[in-house]
Amino acid sequence: MLVFWDQRLVFLATPKTGSTALAAALEPLAAVSVQRPPVLKHTTVQRFHRFIGPYLKVASGEEFTTVALMREPIDWLGSWYRFRRREDLLDQNASTRDMSFDDFANAYCERPQPGFANVGAQSRFLTPPGKPPVDRIFRYEDIGTFVDFLEERLNCEIILPRLNVSPEADLALRPETLARLRGVMAEDLALYDRVANPAIA
Round to whole Å and give the CA distance between 124 and 101: 23
More confident residue, 94 or 144: 144
Closest residue by Cα to residue 13 from 154, 102, 140: 140
90 found inside a domain: yes
- pTM of this prediction exceeds 0.85: yes
Task: Domain of residue 139: give its range.
Answer: 2-194
Question: Would you call 155 helix, strand, or coil by DSSP?
Answer: coil
β-pairing, 32-33 vs 2-4, is antiparallel
What's the whole-number mean pLDDT along residues 92-99? 84
List, for residues 107-127, the tens digit of each pLDDT value: 999 999 999 999 999 999 999
97 found inside a domain: yes
pLDDT at 169: 87
pLDDT class of 147 with cuts at 50, 70, 90: very high
pLDDT at 201: 47
Give the chain's domain count. 1
pLDDT at 164: 62
201 found inside a domain: no
pLDDT class of 160 with cuts at 50, 70, 90: confident
List, for residues 35-89, the tens digit of each pLDDT value: 999 999 999 999 999 999 999 999 999 999 999 999 999 999 999 999 999 866 6
37 found inside a domain: yes
pLDDT above 70 for 199: no
126 found inside a domain: yes
Round to whole Å and give the CA distance between 113 and 115: 6
167 found inside a domain: yes
200 found inside a domain: no
pLDDT at 189: 97
pLDDT at 30: 96
